[in-house]
Structures are given as structure tokens and as C-alpha cells.
Amino acid sequence: MDDVVYDRAGRGEPLVLIHGIGHRRQAWAPVFPLLTPHRDVIAVDLPGFGESPEPAGGYGVEPALVMFKDLFTELGLDRPHVAGNSLGGLLSLELGRAGLVRSVTALSPAGLWNRRQKLYAIATLKAHRALAQRTPPNVVRRLAATAAGRKALVGMIVGRPELLSPEIVAEDAHALATAPGFEPTAAQSRGSGIRGFAPGRGLRHPDPRKRGFRFTGPVTGVPVTIAWAQHDRILARPRVAELRKVAPNGTFALLPGCGHVPMSDDPELVAQTLLAGSR
């Protein structure tokens, strides 16, 4: 298995946290201490992001499902709860459909989009990466030192950039600029199909109806919570009728005042959502 880097702490039933594209496990830092009194929390750096090396098996949903299956076995996790944001939300839903987890909480998950929405989201994220790559680190640090600068750097991603420390903003910009997994993962979003994991039957063949990380579900047999950030400027919130197709028995919630990455905008609300979803 790839040498996946993770943080683990707490007590109770296991809860695995999965970040979005271009981010890192520290995205969960604001909610981590709120969860550990109630859950055995494992925050993962996806392969090719944060401190995890690039994956030997390549990028995409199929290799990620295999990686998580192996990681769960290595850590002695018997169908843990899982929660994810953006790309991590898509992977969480896929893990739920594969029957590898006992509950799913997806925060503004990717994959519930049409072609136009997908192109907009990927183009916006790629523009943020290009900005992070082209801006000298000393300039990033100077911008991050002011509230206006933090808004300019991350205002599309979070709802309340003033709550982020200058250090976190600068470190996140560096992680986004240098993540080797960003481009291949973004390229996967334009693919002609992704394979899923069928419990007891291994990997399914490519489904031509699923194009470019589009998740159509359904997830059945496990509790599913899909919570959408009220001020998400990256991904459009689907109608409840569309969410019902993905999770027929799911719980759907709105995260008031939050942006696409809501963990720093309202840590208490996000923690409550994760605890309720994994109850």
C-alpha cells in the first residue's frame, strides 16, 4: 500500500476524514479537537497531496477505493465512518456505495454536477493553483498578513477568510502550488468513465454513463448525510430531488455562513454535522 500520511487521535468509533483536491489533512484541524472526545479520528493526506507520496496505482476513484480498503485493513478499521469535503465528499460517497464504511457524511461533495458546473469548478480551482504557483512566497505571506489579502487569496474557497491565520493561508497556498496530484486528478475529472468497487466482487468495469467524476449513486444500506455550504462559490447546490437519487434515504442539510471548505468557517457546526452523521 502507498505510504499514506495521516493524523490519528481520540476515542470511540473510527471516523476517517478526507480532504478536497489541492488541500491537505490540516484542512480538518479546526474540527479535529471537537471530534476526538467522541470518535477515533483519522485525517488522511490523499496520495499526491500534503505529505503523502504519489500513488503507485495512479490517480482516480478506483485506485483511491483500493487504497482506502488497504488502509482500513492496515489500521484495523472494520467499516469506519467516513466524512469528506469536495473531492473527499465524492470519495466518501463512493466508499459508501462500495459498502466499505458504516456511514457517509459529505460536505459540498464533488461529482453531483452537470458538465457546465464541472467545467466551472475545475477551471476555478486550476486558476487558484496557477495564482499560488505564480505568486512568490514572500508576496503570499505579505498578503496573508492582512484581512483583505486573505480574502483575495482564499475568498472563493472559504466563507470567512478572516478566521484563518496568516500562517495557515501561506501554508495552504504552498500545498496547493506544489501538490503533484492536482493536475492528474483534475485530468481524471475529464475522463470518459470511472470504475467503482463492488463489495465481494472486486472492481467493476468502467461505466460509460459516469463521465468525469460524475456520481449518480445510489448509496443504500448505510446512513448518508450530505451537507452543502450556503455560500459555496465553487460547486452549485443540487436540488433535493437530485440528492434523493444519490442517497434515497439520506439526510440533507445546509451549512449557514460557510464557503466551499466549511471547516474553518464554523468548526462547531461542522463538528456537530459529522458527529450526527456518524452516530
Mean pLDDT of 252-256: 98
Number of Cβ atoms within 10 Å of the Cβ of 234: 21
| pLDDT higher than 70, residue 237 | yes
Alpha-carbon distance 48 to 180, whole Å? 5
| pLDDT higher than 80, residue 211 | no
Decide which of 203 and 54 is more confident.
54
Mean pLDDT, rounded, of the chain: 91
- Band (pLDDT 50/70/90 cuts) for residue 213 is confident
Alpha-carbon distance 35 to 71, whole Å? 21
Q: What is the pTM of this model?
A: 0.92
pLDDT digits (tens, 9 = 90+) for 83-134: 999 999 999 999 999 999 999 999 999 999 999 999 999 999 999 999 999 9
User: Residue 234 carries which DSSP code?
Assistant: S
| pLDDT higher than 90, residue 243 | yes
Q: Where are the chain's structural domains?
A: 6-118+180-277
Alpha-carbon distance 115 to 121, whole Å? 10
What is the CATH number that goes with domain 6-118+180-277? 3.40.50.1820
For residue 212, the model assigns a pLDDT of 64
> Residue 228: phi, psi to the nearest 5?
-110, 135
pLDDT digits (tens, 9 = 90+) for 159-199: 999 999 999 999 999 999 999 999 999 998 876 333 433 43
Mean pLDDT of 5-15: 97
Query: Which residue in this structure is represented by grid cell 475529472?
Result: 189
For residue 149, the model assigns a pLDDT of 95
For residue 120, the model assigns a pLDDT of 95
For residue 188, the model assigns a pLDDT of 86
Are the C-beta atoms of 216 and 246 separated by less than 8 Å? yes
